[in-house]
Amino acid sequence: MKKTNQEHPYIPHLKEGDLRTKWLKLLPLLSTTLLYALYYLISTLKFDVQIVPESVPYDFLLQLLVAYVLYALSRRAWIFLVIHTLLMGLLYVGNAVKISFFGGPIMPDDVFALQSLLLILEGWRFFAAAIPLAAIASLLLFNFTMRHWSAYLASLVAILLSITVVYKPASLLTPLDGYFGNSVWDQRSNYISRGATLYTLLETARYFAAAEVVPDGDMAQEAADNLLATAPERPAATKAFTPRNVHIVLLESFWDPNELKKAKYKPNPLSPEFRELWKNAGYSHALDPVFGGFTANSEFEVLCGFPVVKNSVKFERQLLNDVPCLPHLLADKGYRTIASHPNVPVFWNRVNAYRRMGFETYWSLKDFVKDDMNREFMSDRTLYRQVLEKIADSLEAKQPVLDYIVTYFGHWNYPLSESRPNKVSSPSDVDEVPAYANTIYYKTRELMGFIKEVRKRDPESIIVVFGDHLPFLGENFAGYVESGLLTTNRSDFTPAMFKSYVSTPMIIIDGKRGPVKFGSLPLYQTPKRVLDLLNFNEPSIMDYTAGLPDMRIRPLPGLHFNLSANGAVDLCKDPPYSQACRLSARWLENIAIVSNDLFIGRQFTRPKYIPEKPLESAAIKSSVPKPITVSP
């Protein structure tokens, strides 16, 4: 056998032509085969996420191509094996984990949420998420080489594919979607029918193909006119604007666990006083934009009055302008506008988002005394107490306040402190089912303490409390499936299940008049309700989302449903649409145009009005928000 003096590019001191070198060239094939089999079993047996057998050959061959590209660019074979193991683990196990938690696989927009994810993870969970990502990045850089002709070929393949994905995504999407199909609302089905590698490639291409379009003036104005023309008739103003304190409380993962009939809780987790108050509100619900996470999207809706329709965090990249959201409108009326959330301030880009919406002050974790914690989560009781102490001077001075509170207690995995022993039992086999009920036991009682105190100090204040999303109750909706409330797969949801999937308790208290009965309300229509209670009679961006007569529309990624006056749910996910679905689909198209114009565009549709002279106060005195105050 002829040998040369050239060292093999992957293994130092191993000569080209050596028999071992020839075997090493099979290393990507061996690693791909073994890892694919291992991760396929883990995904199937542990997380019940199984790529359909018909797609395994395509998926395997694509992963093999990825392996050979990595191998060609690798300096050391053992480092290649580590990188390939981590990368395939991320693609196959990582997607299975996300599907089991949230019902859908990893999406390109999740990259922008990665920083926020790492901020909330503690202990081993942080290292479990951070170490593989850091290892992949560092090892790729350390192991990179261009010593062999195969490295140049691999680089050419990678560069050509990247250019195609970014600049010509349709050349990939059109033929492959035509063959495999594509369901925007059912990403789990997309994943299992394509496999992790092809799914990741196509969704990355779709991300670039579906970039938001900033509308021109004519397009934006036409959409705005269409929305205003189809909105329900607005009653004539009979009263002048009446400033009252507004308290809005977003309750983390707040939901009624009594809907889990098989849980058989003893005692009832909800506070008796809360049950009575909610009964007086007609057991009203908010229809939220998210399930199990992405709290910021619920925040966006309840503050800005526009629906979130995509599976991405609106605060991160889709709120670029200063916009007259509820905080901004009330600041123009002399209100002191304050946001409080006992988390790190940069989480979900809240510092910038709150400023752009019109908040004057943002109190984050470092602004509160950590005197009552459930692990890393501040209790609602101490949060409410400290916020009321901080705004006491404004309440005493009769300066109107927008007091917006985002609670943190109630976050998965529902830890309790020693001062909060378990009070609720359940025979459920899902660990989260009793753990969540015990969290709600304390959450409802601490909430009622806050409501009582506010109504005692200021009987005419407006109080809004709601859950931001349903809680996570085990992999593949296990806690909900146990009671028949949901199925393990979103593709099998009935229309009623989709409504349950996004319905959380909501109470609006109109001062001395008490709770308001409004049924099931899309969360984005809440700020309009608040403005109406204040007799705000000027044009606002909330006028655009007043909806269609006798219909409430809840969009979700890839689908939407309409709730009629009689409570019937019309699910709109696949054409041919019903007549009502066609109307609501056109309405949502106009909403998307106006939303892009207001939040990322040139704001042609921003209402033109001159703010009334504000009350004498230290609040914002102009239509441009002051820099938000965040403690150092």
pLDDT, one tens digit per residue, over 225-265 is: 999 999 887 776 678 999 999 999 999 999 999 999 999 99
Q: Are the beta carbons of 62 and 198 closer than 8 angstroms? A: yes
Bridge pairing between strands 503-510 and 462-467: antiparallel
Q: What is the pLDDT of residue 229?
A: 93
pLDDT, one tens digit per residue, over 174-212 is: 898 888 888 877 788 888 889 999 999 998 888 888 777
CB-CB neighbours of 388 under 10 Å: 17
pLDDT band at 308; cut points 50, 70, 90: very high
**Tokens for 55?**
């797609």
Q: List, in sequence order, every beta strand (DSSP E) within 273-312.
A: 285-287
Q: Is the pLDDT of residue 163 over 70?
A: yes
Q: Is the pLDDT of residue 10 over 50?
A: no
Q: H-type helices in 48-109, by residue range?
A: 56-72, 77-88, 95-102
Q: What is the pLDDT of residue 150?
A: 77
pLDDT, one tens digit per residue, over 261-278 is: 999 999 999 999 999 999
* Residue 553: closest CA among 514, 580, 592, 593: 580
Cα–Cα distance measured from residue 187 to residue 108, given in angstroms and rounded to the nearest whole number? 12
**Model pTM above 0.85:** no
- In the chain, where are the structural domains located? 19-209, 235-545
Find the mean pLDDT for residues 88-107.
Answer: 85
Q: What is the pLDDT of residue 554?
A: 97
Q: H-type helices in 332-369, by residue range?
A: 350-357
* Residue 195: closest CA among 112, 105, 310, 101: 105
Q: What is the pLDDT of residue 345?
A: 86
Cα–Cα distance measured from residue 431 to residue 473, given in angstroms and rounded to the nearest whole number? 8
Q: Are the beta carbons of 344 and 115 closer than 8 angstroms? A: no
What Cα–Cα distance (Å) separates residue 522 from each residue in 194, 286, 504?
34, 6, 11
**Tokens for 175?**
């033929």
Q: H-type helices in 493-573, by residue range?
A: 495-501, 526-533
Q: What is the pLDDT of residue 152?
A: 81
Q: Are the beta carbons of 330 and 402 closer than 8 angstroms? A: yes
Beta bridge partners, 570, equal 562
Q: What is the pLDDT of residue 444?
A: 98
Cα–Cα distance measured from residue 329 to residue 545, given in angstroms and rounded to the nearest whole number? 16
Q: What is the CATH number of domain 235-545?
A: 3.40.720.10
pLDDT, one tens digit per residue, over 539-596 is: 999 999 999 998 999 999 889 999 998 889 999 988 888 999 999 999 999 999 999 9
**Tokens for 330?**
């009330």
* Residue 531: closest CA among 302, 226, 299, 279: 302
Please report how many Cα atoms fall inside a 13 Å half-sphere around the Cα of residue 486, on the Cβ side.
Answer: 23
pLDDT band at 106; cut points 50, 70, 90: confident
DSSP for residue 595: H
Query: In the predicted model, what is the mean pLDDT of the chain?
Result: 87
**Residue tagged 């670029």 (tokens):** 320
